[in-house]
Amino acid sequence: MNARGRQEGNAVTQALAQIGLCGLFLLTLLAAVPRSFRYVRETIRQLWFVGAMSLTIIMVCGLFVGMVLMLQLYHVLSIFGGTSASGMVVALSVYRELGPVITALLFAGRAGTSITAEIGLMRATDQIDAMELMAVDPIAYVATPRFLAGVIAMPLLACVFCAMAIFGGHLVGVSWLGIDNGTFWSNMTAEVDVHTDIVNGVLFKSLAFGAVVSLIAVFQGFTTPPTSEGVAYATTRTVVASSIAILALDFVLTAFLM
């Protein structure tokens, strides 16, 4: 085997090893969940940081996604005289795909990176070791609350994103382009199914995305080399790995849930 082949082989082996380690880390996290119940306040604090503090970016992005989606759909559907269906199409697109996926990507960029950087710096400054030596389990105190906060926050953020996107679509479609308000809402309520589109589309997907992004963020933080360069790389890896995982998982979930 030539040198390039060996390098590619090593890269694949390392990637598989990382996935395996991440799986083991997930088991450790889940095993620590009962122990982390005594740190409920820490979980609530993290919920504030990863959830409430992400609201602004989620709301603004949701609004603009809904607005631009309505604009595009209106122009395409007007060719076929179907502009009255644009509200419904906006809703279905947002509930089934754009809402959970874009929220997860934004969540990875905003909250995932901050979780990785924070834990990485805690490692670099020996704070994690200090906890271990004070007989405080860092998995239960640091990792699990952040993981749980991410899992809880994601579906809530996805709901906010969807609501803002529908509002943006209404703003452009009804207030600006002149679609009838009654038609906009009635088509939407007639076609949107609570189980298929809201429960499976928004809630279930975003719950899975929240778990994956939080797991990757916490895992990268805990396994980063305790150096400034290591933290920088880990933060980048969180965004890259989360983005790929979100899109790949979205395909798998869509295929099973449709």
CB burial readout 46-76, b (16+ within 10 A) else e:
bbebbbeebeebbbebbbebbbebbbebbee
For the record, the structure tokens of 226 come out as: 């305790």
Taking CB atoms within 8 Å and a gap of at least 24, the contacts of 19-26 are 21/219, 21/223, 22/215, 22/216, 22/219, 25/215, 25/218, 25/219, 25/222, 25/223, 26/215, 26/219
Q: Does 137 bind other proteins (CB under 8 A)?
A: yes
Q: Does 27 bind other proteins (CB under 8 A)?
A: no
Q: Does 133 bind other proteins (CB under 8 A)?
A: yes
How far apart (Å, rounded) are the C-alpha atoms in residues 220 and 224?
6
Among 10, 129, 194, 227, binds other proteins (CB under 8 A): 129
**# chain residues binding other proteins, by CB under 8 A:** 14
Residue with tokens 């207030």: 175
Q: Which is nearer to other proteins, 109 or 226 (CB)?
A: 226
Q: Does 125 bind other proteins (CB under 8 A)?
A: yes
Comparing C-alpha atoms, which of 118, 89, 43 is closest to residue 197? 89
Q: Does 127 bind other proteins (CB under 8 A)?
A: yes
Q: Does 226 bind other proteins (CB under 8 A)?
A: no
Q: Does 175 bind other proteins (CB under 8 A)?
A: no
Site string for other proteins, 78-117 (x = CB under 8 A): ----------------------------------------
Q: Which is nearer to other proteins, 6 or 38 (CB)?
A: 38
**Residues making contact with other proteins (CB under 8 A):** 121-122, 125-127, 129-130, 132-137, 141
